[in-house]
Chains A and B, each alone.
Chain A
Amino acid sequence: MKSEIWLFSGGLLFFLPIAFVYGLLTQWNEPVGFVCLLLTAGLAVLVGGYLAVTGARIDERPEDNPRADITEGAGEQGFFSPHSWWPLALSFGAALVFAGAAIGWWLSIIGVAFSIVFLIGWVFEYFVGEHAH
């Protein structure tokens, strides 16, 4: 996973020094840029660090081997829903919640009620009924 790890962690090598350069150039009088550049370095290291830890824990993937065959990548990739109406329904509920902030909080309450039902429907779609496992 070396290429993926450096693709993301590379941001650390840029944003961390730049944060201190920014701090020095502003004589540490302007904390916004320094803090946000540090957190941007955090953005890079969060993904890069996670991939590094995961990469050390799993076996070498076919993608890491230049001489690998396509067939070596076969097998379970993860669970993917073939289709689902719940995300659309939930986005409708969420839209009501945020529309309530502009129109009136009563609308948000209705939106929350809808959202709870649709969220439960989505989360449990493959855990109850004919798809239960």
Chain B
Amino acid sequence: MQAGTDDIQIINQVLQGDQQSFEELIERYQHFVFTIALRYVRNREDAEEIAQDVFVKAYRSLADFKGNAKFSTWLYTIAMNTTKTFLRKVKPPVDSLDHVQISETVDKQHSGNGADLTEQRSMQLLINQAIGLLGPDDAIVITLFYKAEQSIEETGLIMGLTPNAVKVRLHRARLRLKEKLELYFANEIKEIIH
């Protein structure tokens, strides 16, 4: 991810009428926004629809971005709100069912592969599959903190939580992730470590 000042330069260009510059912001943040949506809806088509909606909303209200916080924090807040609105309108959360489906997928996947993957790639796969087994809020807090370079305070702003609540949620999410890894991938991790 680029520095915050670069974002502000691009935003100023867009505000001055250079619409094409907005594409740079999309390129920069599309993976993050898409992942946030995907953590909740677990369906690529819906996640892409939400992500597109997020960027359109961000573009429309770009003049309201004051630069007090990072652009990414502002954008992820829009992403969270848009995803929640989508879930309220379209379908109820079906968390537990998804988890069962994902668990089945994981079982199928790791019964047949593993040996030919490199160590790093294996670990990436395991971590990301285990993240998929977590609840959306746990997956989001981990993604925002570890991948999206958001501080505890910024994560709190995005998720509408106090910094202390974020710390607690992050701690619990890590524990749950470790439990999932131990439950589903204990053998693979042992192989990678040794």
Partners in one complex: no
